[in-house]
Amino acid sequence: MADRLDGNFEKAIDLLLGCKGRVMISGIGKSGQIARKIAATFSSTGTPAFYIHPTEGIHGDIGMVLSGDVAIIISKSGDTEEVIKLLPIFRRLDVPVIAITGDKNSPLAEEADVILDSSVEFEACPLDLVPTSSTTAALVMGDALAVVLLELRGFTANDFSFIHPGGALGRKLIKVADLMHTGPELPIVAQSAGFREMLVEMTTKRFGLALVVDSQGRLTGIFT
């Protein structure tokens, strides 16, 4: 696949970098699953993107696409009816189309502004039918776009942690400062406070404890 990161790939990068809106990614069947994954990767690396199922698209969901967006269409054959029906809408909205396809002479390729070749000699399936090698090739192309965009945008680990606070990756990047509570959020009572006041502070702040401080604000004890 490395030899396919050519001038067309650069054109696709230029379109995506210049996108003033969001990136709409679409595909059907197994190509649709790859499109969903690429949209998720784009969104988590600094390029806002979303997925539209072609069938839902031609029944109204294409209304999410606006002038200023860029469309990426994934199709091995480049001749899927539902996908082809989307193209006139993109033209009317002046939305450029990047095609990731296995057939550079297909109807999709003919209408696309940029063609990214994801063709394979044969599928890994012994019947040469089940999308395997072809979906892998499309995914590689999509991930390559995401990584290049990430680098060109100067996307950092801090940026990633900001939009990915959950899971093992989020825990790996998050800092104590991102989790700690300070100031009025804390259940703080003075040494001279009554028991009732302390209980109110504990239950209001919901930490299960109260921090006891002296007249200078120094911690002198914890009540739990």
Domain ranges of the chain: 2-169, 181-223
Q: What is the DSSP letter of 9?
A: H
Residue 46 corresponds to which tokens in the numbers above?
A: 């600094």
DSSP H stretches of helix in the chain: 7-17, 30-44, 54-57, 81-84, 87-93, 107-111, 133-153, 157-163, 167-173, 176-179, 195-205
Mean pLDDT lowest among 14-23, 52-61, 132-141, 197-206: 197-206
Rounded to the nearest 5 degrees, what angle is found at the Cα of 121, between the Cα atoms of 120 and 124? 80
Residue 21 corresponds to which tokens in the numbers above?
A: 């809106």
Average pLDDT, the chain: 92
CATH number of 2-169: 3.40.50.10490
What pLDDT shows up at residue 185? 87
List Cβ neighbours of 30 (8 Å cut-off, separation of 6 or more).
131, 135
Compute the average pLDDT of residues 118-139.
93
**Does the pLDDT of residue 92 top 90, yes or no?**
yes
**Does the pLDDT of residue 88 top 80, yes or no?**
yes
Measure the CA dihedral 182/184/189/193, to 10°. 170
Reported pTM: 0.77
CA atoms of 112 and 99, how far apart (whole Å): 6
